[in-house]
Chains A and B, each alone.
Chain A
Amino acid sequence: MGPASSSLKEKHHGVLIAGVQLCTDLCKASTDALEYLRKNCTEGLVRILRDVSNSPYAPEYDVAGITDPFLHIRVLRLMRMLGQGDADSSEYMNDILAQVATKTESNKNAGNAILYECVETIMGIEASSGLRVLAINILGRFLSNRDNNIRYVALHMLMKAVTVDFQAVQRHRTTILECVKDSDASIRKRALELVFLLVNDTNVKSLTKELIDYLEVSDQEFKGDLTAKICSIVEKFSQEKLWYIDQMFKVLSLAGNYVKDDVWHALIVMISNAPDLQGYSVRSLYKAFQTSNEQETLVRVTVWCIGEYGEMLVNNVGVLEMEEPMTVTESDAVDAVEVALKCNSSDITTRAMSLVALLKLSSRFPPTSERIREIVMQHKGNVELELQQRSIEFNSIIQRHRNIKSSLVERMPVLDESAFIGKRVGSSQATLSADKSSRPTSGSPGASLKLPNGVAKPPPAPLVDLLDLSSDDVPASTSSTTDFLHDLLGGDLMSPSSSAPSGGGAGTDILMDLLSIGSPSAPTDVSVPNIISSNQGNAGELETAPASVMDFLDGLPSNSSLPGDKDPIYPSITAFESSTLKISFSFTKQPGKPQDTVIQATFTNLSSNTYTDFIFQAAVPKFIQLHLDPASSSTLPASGNGTIMQTLSVTNSQQGQKPLAMRIRMVYRVNNEDKTEQGQINNFPPGL
């Protein structure tokens, strides 16, 4: 440290500059050095600065009338490091800083460089308030300088000054706003960031207005940044929903294409949470849509609102005082959605949302139902699978299922705003789920459609697959754990049954059976229309049913932990016996695979009638996997004259801890009528 500090006493400027630079880096590297220099060298530094700033004309070091500006700047920087956080040394430096700040000429770049460094030093140390005011004034002067460099530097400095003295920076707000509209890209960016820092509750409205006005005329690269900033300002500082919605609509109509997905999702959540503003929203959106329908996100939000609140639009519900009167007929509303659908620049999401909106409208405006059906049918052969699927489904809903249609497309329950915002702050998975929660009617028909496709495969598909399938689907789309999505999925599961005819007759029967086995009080008649209406209640239970079935099964006897013996020999059991049917199971285990068991099921007919179309189904708890092989035959001769054999393979992932349990169901035809029997098997040998 000695040599370093002694280098500060040199006369030669080159050595002096190098010495100052060395000391600066030493201070950055170690706090001891900082302390040492602070104690010993502060006066020396001040003296150097005073000498060099008062020195007469020295031709060797002169740059534009100032002697050695480089030395000035380096010394100022070192002084900043020493004075940071230390009141004594800062006080010592006050005078010289004031002198430099006032004396230096600022018509040349060298002078401005010194002033800039000086201002930075004043901001960095514990300066007196007079000095601070001086610094802010210099910055203000810089801001109004015509030179772009100076303005850039001033904006940069002001960002740091905001933390120090907020009020002073506010005074320059108008100049800063001017800079946002500057032709220079770097200045624009700086100014926008600074404006963002300056926003508070009092000035947010005027600032936002200015920014939105500028949004109209800004160029493409800048629009994205600007939009994002405006949206975040509006969201953070919105006190009233009306203002928020207004601003967002303006932004959407001007720069909808740059608005990010989670922003317009938040907007939809907000609208659904503000029932008194819904009429106003849908009317404003309708007006905006007429003028600027090339903004994709605007189209989406409009289409969604028209679908949801169509009748408010037509019947002028909830008109606020400032609105002009507007008459929109039902067919106008349908026209608007149709335009969105047909427009060439719409992408899949927009068209999909338009289809859903049309479905909703067909229920809200019954006279237009036929026209809507025709529009929807036009997409029957669309290249996009999603649109084709929706078109066909909705067409069949409109045509055949009038009675359930209105309940299908009822007003969506209010989306939970706080939960939505909380999730949004989280990972992108959260935005995915919020995406689904904000569009459940568009998402769930697609999601639940997987069910019949999975089930309509081989008829003796194990029941457990369906239950697993549905329970897998449910968490995927309800990772947001909001209850309303459960209801919606439950309600929408009817649509798979309406498209089940495309899956084949046997598939439909299986589906009905499988769906009704979910609830304990399942109806035993299998006619299709009844199932559709009763499944509305049952399917809603389907989601909870797997859980309850599993719980039920878990609460089976032998809940004490098993000794877990590895005895491979298990007695066969009579699994089920009724007056008409007997089932016995025999078990084999493969050595080395204690969790797998192969069960041989034997079915015997105890009545005097022959059973035909015999189908056996089984359900197991979640920790068990079941696989059913095809049965040997589907005809069971009477009075035990013959038997059906079927092999089941079971894998118990908690073998040794939890016993096997199974719920079974048999469906067969006897005397030209269908009969069903079901039961539960509790008497599995332990250790399986």
Chain B
Amino acid sequence: MIHFVVLISRQGKVRLTKWYSPYSQKERTKVIRELSGMILARGPKLCNFVEWKGYKVVYRRYASLYFCMCIDADDNELEILEIIHHFVEILDRYFGSVCELDLIFNFHKAYYILDEILIAGELQEPSKKTVARLIAAQDALVETAKEQASSISNMIAQATK
């Protein structure tokens, strides 16, 4: 099972974290610090797997962002690489040529997408189309809610309450 997902920028800034195992706040910061040190220090040609504290950390670098996932020692690392790529492709399809800036400004959407793909540390949805459809539906909901809140009738109703 995947224990956590961490997205780190090239400068060491954390863009996204999702924890599927119990880690206290202190442990989380410690883990992130250790991992950033380890992974950012690795050269380009080395393999994408790092052994760390009995777990394996699979990472891949996309432009300036490192996508890291921590798995158990007996899991299939190549599959996790595929899962990372799956996630990135969906992000790409949704944002259209996604870059780090998109993730900074729309981090909530990135979390929604991740939650659609992974649940309890396992892959949930292998189909990109389904995920795209679901996120689109959610966006539509958000739009209607916004519209409703800003419609004139609502404003009058609020004022006279």
Interface residue ranges, A against B (CB under 8 Å):
13-14, 17-18, 21, 59-61, 63, 68-71, 73-74, 77, 109-110, 112-113, 116-117, 120, 148-149, 151-153, 183-187, 189
A184 neighbours in B (Cβ, 8 Å): 45-47
Q: Which of A74, A120, A149, A185 contacts B81 (CB 8 A)?
A: A149
How many Å from the CB of B16 to the closest CB on chain A? 21
- Give Cα A367 to B78, complex, Å: 72
Closest to A117 in B: B76
Closest to B77 in A: A153
How many Å from the CB of A193 to the closest CB on chain B? 11
Q: Which of A13, A60, A120, A183 contacts B45 (CB 8 A)?
A: A183
- Give Cα A537 to B127, complex, Å: 91
Q: Does B129 contact A (CB under 8 A)?
A: yes
How many Å from the CB of B117 to the closest CB on chain A? 10
How many Å from the CB of B72 to the closest CB on chain A? 12
B47 neighbours in A (Cβ, 8 Å): 148-149, 151-152, 184, 186-187
How many Å from the CB of A162 to the closest CB on chain B? 17
**What DSSP secondary structure best describes chain B's contact surface?**
mixed
- Give Cα A184 to B50, complex, Å: 11
- Give Cα A68 to B46, complex, Å: 28
Q: Does B148 contact A (CB under 8 A)?
A: no
B residues 103-161 near A (Cβ < 8 Å) are: 119, 122-130
- Give Cα A13 to B129, complex, Å: 12
Q: Does B49 contact A (CB under 8 A)?
A: yes
Q: Does B3 contact A (CB under 8 A)?
A: no
Are the CB atoms of B126 and A113 closer together than 8 Å? no
Closest to B126 in A: A70
Given contacts A60-B128, A148-B46, A148-B47, is CB(A69)–CB(B79) below 8 Å?
yes
Are the CB atoms of B79 and A149 closer together than 8 Å? no
Are the CB atoms of B82 and A113 closer together than 8 Å? yes
- Give Cα A148 to B119, complex, Å: 30
Q: Does B61 contact A (CB under 8 A)?
A: no
Are the CB atoms of B127 and A69 closer together than 8 Å? no
How many Å from the CB of B130 to the closest CB on chain A? 7
B122 neighbours in A (Cβ, 8 Å): 18, 21
Are the CB atoms of B78 and A116 closer together than 8 Å? yes
A109 neighbours in B (Cβ, 8 Å): 78, 81-82, 85
Are the CB atoms of B124 and A18 closer together than 8 Å? yes
Q: Does B83 contact A (CB under 8 A)?
A: yes
Closest to A160 in B: B74
Are the CB atoms of B82 and A110 closer together than 8 Å? yes
Are the CB atoms of B126 and A13 closer together than 8 Å? yes
Are the CB atoms of B77 and A149 closer together than 8 Å? yes
- Give Cα A60 to B119, complex, Å: 20
Are the CB atoms of A70 and B46 closer together than 8 Å? no
Closest to A116 in B: B78
- Give Cα A21 to B79, complex, Å: 14
Are the CB atoms of B46 and A185 closer together than 8 Å? yes
B125 neighbours in A (Cβ, 8 Å): 14, 17
Q: Does B15 contact A (CB under 8 A)?
A: no
Q: Does B51 contact A (CB under 8 A)?
A: yes
Closest to B131 in A: A14
Are the CB atoms of B49 and A152 closer together than 8 Å? yes
How many Å from the CB of B94 to the closest CB on chain A? 16
How many Å from the CB of A552 to the closest CB on chain B? 60
How many Å from the CB of B125 to the closest CB on chain A? 5
- Give Cα A110 to B79, complex, Å: 7
- Give Cα A60 to B83, complex, Å: 15
How many Å from the CB of A150 to the closest CB on chain B? 8
- Give Cα A73 to B46, complex, Å: 25
B130 neighbours in A (Cβ, 8 Å): 14, 60
- Give Cα A183 to B47, complex, Å: 10
B128 neighbours in A (Cβ, 8 Å): 60
B78 neighbours in A (Cβ, 8 Å): 109, 112-113, 116, 149, 153
Given contacts A14-B125, A70-B126, is CB(A63)–CB(B86) below 8 Å?
yes
B79 neighbours in A (Cβ, 8 Å): 69-70, 73, 113, 117
Enumerate 15 A-B pairs (CB-CB under 8 Å) in ascending A order: A18-B122, A59-B129, A63-B85, A69-B79, A71-B126, A74-B123, A109-B82, A109-B85, A110-B82, A112-B78, A113-B81, A117-B79, A149-B81, A184-B47, A189-B51
Are the CB atoms of A73 and B76 closer together than 8 Å? yes
Are the CB atoms of B49 and A70 closer together than 8 Å? no
A120 neighbours in B (Cβ, 8 Å): 76
Given A69-B79, A149-B48, 15 other A-B residues pairs in contact with their CB atoms under 8 A: A14-B126, A14-B127, A17-B126, A18-B119, A63-B82, A63-B85, A70-B123, A109-B81, A149-B47, A149-B49, A149-B81, A153-B78, A186-B49, A186-B51, A187-B47
- Give Cα A189 to B52, complex, Å: 13
Given contacts A61-B127, A186-B50, is CB(A148)–CB(B82) below 8 Å?
no
